[in-house]
Structures are given as structure tokens and as C-alpha cells.
A and B are shown apart, each in its own frame.
Chain A
Amino acid sequence: MSQVYFQDVEPGYELPPLLKEPTRKQLDAFTRVWGSTVGRFTSDEVARAEGFSGVILPGNMTMAFLAQFLTEWAGPDGKLNRLDVDFRRSVQPGDKLTCAGIVTDTESIDLENRVILDLYIETQKGERALQGTALVLLPNKP
């Protein structure tokens, strides 16, 4: 895993996007680990009765994609410190998702190199399913 350094980024820096295409099998595995029996996540029939075209992913599963996106970018010596996300639209298995982010501010306070980001997940239809902000700590360049 490569390492990005605080000195490498500035406002306007765009993170390399992460593409995700969650499958029904992954959704089923997720609800099993969670122990969730919420119908809209586990049953097409219930989801359809609620107005969806089939099962949808829980917000905390799609939000986990943003956490993966950030921690992979931050590298082994970076740290995800805060992640604030609004769930805006539902996501279904088979959707092609792009996790994207841009640095909006950087500051060094109390020996912490803070990078503030705007983030979103966009579907193949160009709709923003999740949107939010994050604070990531990055190491100094050696």
C-alpha cells in the first residue's frame, strides 16, 4: 500500500476514485453479520411493497464504502478521524458506484496534519446517493 503525505495535498486535490459494484451476495453477507432482518434489506417482496424495485443496501453499508475509499487513500500511516455522511438516495445490488472526494482545506494543529474533504457516492445514473465530509490525518513527508 502506498503512502500519501500531508505535503502532497492542497485544497482542490481530487482523490483517485474508488469504484464499487455491490452484489446481492455481499448484501446478504452484510445483513447476516449485522443480524438484521429489516425487510427492505433482505426481501425483494417487502422492498417492493415499500416502493423500491427490489432490496436496497443499508446506509451503513454504503457508508462503509466511503470509509474504505478514505482509508485506502490515507495509507498505513494515515488515519480517518471523522466521517459525516447524509444518506440521500437508495442504492441497490448491481449499482455501479463511484466514491469521489476533493480536499477543501488543510491545516497543521497540535502536531496533527488535518485534511478536510468533501465526499460523495454517485450512481451510474449520475445521482448522488451519499454525500458528506471527512477529516483525515496524514503523516509528514520524511
Chain B
Amino acid sequence: MAEANPTDTLDFDRSVIGVDVQVGTHQVSKEQIIAYSRAVGETNPLYLDEKAASAGPYGAIIAPPLFFNMLNLQPGLDPKVKFGTSGFDAGQHAEFFQSIRAGDTIAAKTMVADVYAKTGRTGTMVFTVRRTTYTNHQGAKTVVVDRISVRRDLQQ
């Protein structure tokens, strides 16, 4: 007999899975890119030095790959997962396309890609995967990222 799948009995709103919603638009400034690059300790002149970047292959300051995380977005649809007493970020899976440049206007859309439960040695954990696609003002994809968050029940 197949083992029971803990996701089957999980209480959440299954109707939101796979539904994309627009979650915001941001104009990216060179000041923001430079401040981010300094904070994470980048040294690449393409991120930090306007003169060097203007003469480089992109013609402007570009952002380091993970800069997209700085663009604050609306939360998107809520799968209303009814489980657990605490939550944390478990990871990110990112695919990079065109670099984000200073002056770009970046639009983002988000969907809940998956909700699933896993039961292991330390009990059950519920994973929510939110997929966000970032596109620049020319319509080109810049990043697609899956953000994985976990809820667990510390009282179990």
C-alpha cells in the first residue's frame, strides 16, 4: 500500500496555485545599485563605477545578480496554509536572463507555484514555493526566482 501523502490532508487554498498576479513596478537607480553592491562587498567596477560601467559592454551601471531581492513587492496571493507555529526562508532558486541596469523599470509578477508537506525525523514541515518573474521595460525577462519558505510546528 502506498504511504499516505501528508500534502493530501494539508489545509490550504488550492485555487491560488499557478495563478500569476502583478506585484509591483520599480525604477532602478544607480544609487540603489551602488549602495547594495557596497553592502554585500562587491568590487566589480561594472556595479560601482559609473565611468567604467559606461565604457563597458552594458553602457551603464548594472546590478549584481541578486539585486532583484531589493525590489519590494506586494505579497501576491495567499495560499492560507493552516499549519505550524513558526516560519523561515528555506532557500531561493534563481535563473538569470538579462542584467538589470540603472534606469531600468522592472515589473514583477508572482504565483504560488507549489505547496507541499514533508514528514521526516523532526516532524512535518510545510513548504511554499513562490515563483516571481522580473521583466524590464523593454519586455525582456531579467530573473525568474523560486523562493521557498517553510512552516513547522515547534510544539509537535
Contact = CB atoms under 8 A, between A and B. Distances in A.
Contacts of B57: 76
Chain A: interface size category: 20 to 34
Contacts of A72: 43-44
B94 A86 contact: no
A95 to B, nearest CB: 13
Nearest to B36: A33
Interface in A34-78: 34-35, 58-61, 63-65, 67-68, 71-72, 76
Contacts of B89: 58-60, 87
B42 interface: yes
Interface string A1-42: 100000000000000000010100011011011110000000
A81 B96 CA distance: 5
B2 interface: no
B91 A86 contact: yes
Nearest to A34: B70
Nearest to A132: B91
Interface string B68-109: 011010000000000000001111111110000000000000
Contacts of A35: 70, 72
Contacts of A71: 44, 64-65
Nearest to B40: A64
Interface of B: 32, 35-36, 38-44, 57, 64-66, 69-70, 72, 88-96
13 contacts: A26-B40, A29-B35, A59-B92, A61-B40, A67-B65, A68-B40, A71-B65, A76-B57, A80-B96, A82-B94, A83-B65, A85-B91, A85-B92
